[in-house]
Amino acid sequence: MAELKKENIENKKSKLELLKEKKRQIENQIKTIQAKEREKERKARTRRLIENGALVEKYLNCENVEPADLEHLLLKIVNIPEVKALIQQPKE
């Protein structure tokens, strides 16, 4: 009888260890998936920034303009009333 209790306790401990290991594996899988999602979002943002920067250079002809000067120019442009109205229009 005592042997059965001891065996039952050991069996429960091994089940507990297996469950803890599965929990660690699942947590690691979650971290891996979250890291991949963050990387995907970061790459998408980087791509968008590069594309938008290229469009600004193309249409404003400002390949040789310093970033501070470009920012000053963009601030002037976005403060033009007609431009503000266009920017604030709801997107379709």
Q: 90 and 54 in one domain?
A: no
Contact 20, 14 (CB under 8 A): no
Give the whole-angstrom CA distance, residue 5 versus residue 11: 10
- Directed axis angle between helix 2-60 and helix 67-78, to 10°? 80
Using CA atoms, how far residue 83 sits from 1, 60, 89, in Å, is: 86, 15, 10
pLDDT score recorded for residue 17: 92
Q: 21 and 36 in one domain?
A: yes
What is the domain count for the chain? 2
Q: 41 and 8 in one domain?
A: yes
pLDDT score recorded for residue 3: 64
pLDDT in tens, the chain (92 residues): 556 666 677 777 788 899 999 999 999 999 999 999 999 999 999 999 999 999 999 999 988 999 999 999 999 999 999 999 998 887 76
> pTM of the predicted model, to two decimals?
0.66
Rg (C-alpha) for the chain, rounded Å, is 29
Give the whole-angstrom CA distance, residue 77 versus residue 20: 59
Domain that holds residue 53: 2-61
Would you call 77 helix, strand, or coil by DSSP? helix
pLDDT score recorded for residue 67: 92
Q: 55 and 11 in one domain?
A: yes
Q: What is the largest CA-CA distance in the chain?
A: 89
